[in-house]
Chain A
Amino acid sequence: NAGVTQTPKFRVLKTGQSMTLLCAQDMNHEYMYWYRQDPGMGLRLIHYSVGEGTTAKGEVPDGYNVSRLKKQNFLLGLESAAPSQTSVYFCASSSQASQPQHFGDGTRLSIL
C-alpha cells in the first residue's frame, strides 16, 4: 500500500538548472497538492489540482510550474533553479475537498 510516493528523495542542483519532481498516488484521489516546507514557516502551498488536466496557483507559485496529465501523477517543475528554492517539497492528495490530505515523505532539494 504505497499511498503517495515522491521521487527523487534528495537532489542537489546548481543555480539555473532545471528539474522535475514527481508525485504519484495509488489511491485514485482527485485532489493533489504541492507544498514547500521551510524552517519556522510551516508548509506553504505552491500549486494544486482538483482533477486530471487541471492546475491552480497556491500561495507561493512563482518560479514553479506543474502538470497533471494523468490522474495519479502531479509533476512540479523548476525551470531555472534559484538558491531561494532550497527547501523540502511535499506532495499530498485527497479523494475530495472534505477529506484529509495524505502526504508523501518529501523531496529534499538543495540549490547551490
Chain B
Amino acid sequence: QQQVKQSPQSLIVQKGGISIINCAYENTAFDYFPWYQQFPGKGPALLIAIRPDVSEKKEGRFTISFNKSAKQFSLHIMDSQPGDSATYFCAASMMAAGNKLTFGGGTRVLVKP
C-alpha cells in the first residue's frame, strides 16, 4: 500500500516555464511534508518543506501548496531552468515517530533550453 502517491512520473518543460508536481497522502497523522531534489549519482537533498498548519510556503522559485482537507500537496517550480533538471521526490512523516520519511515514487523533470 503506497501511502504517498506522486504524479506525474516524468515532466518536460521549456526554460522559463512552470513545473508542477503533485502528491497525495493517506495517513492523516503525517505532520511534515518535505520535497527532495536528486541529481544522478547523488543523494537526495532537501529543497523545501511544509507543516500542515500552513497552506503555502515559498522559497525563491520553489513553492509548496498544501491542501489538508484533500490530503494533497504540490511543488511548483517557477521560471524553470536547465539546472533544475533532476528527479524530485515528495515525502511525508510523523515528527513524533522518529521522522521516518515515506517517499513518493519520484518525478523526473527535464527543462529544455
Question: Are A and B genuine complex partners?
Answer: yes
Which A residues contact B (CB, under 8 angstroms)? 4, 31, 33, 35, 40-45, 48, 50, 56, 58-59, 90, 92, 94, 97-98, 100-106
Checking B43, B100, B104 against A104 with a beta-carbon cut-off of 8 angstroms, the contacting residue is B43
Chain A residue at minimal CB-CB distance from B36: A103
- The interface-forming segment of B44-52, B54-62, B66-74, B78-86 is B44-52
In contact, A97 and B98 (Cβ under 8 angstroms): yes
Contact-residue bracket for chain B: 20 to 34
Residue B30 interfacial (CB < 8 Å): no
A selection of 5 A-B contacts at a CB cut-off of 8 Å is: A33-B101, A40-B106, A41-B105, A45-B100, A98-B32
Q: Which residues of B contact A (CB under 8 A)?
A: 4, 6, 9, 32, 34, 36, 41-46, 49, 89, 91, 95-106
Chain B residues with CB under 8 Å of A101's CB are: 46, 99, 101
Q: A42–B105 contact, CB under 8 A?
A: yes
Contact A103 B43 (CB under 8 A): yes
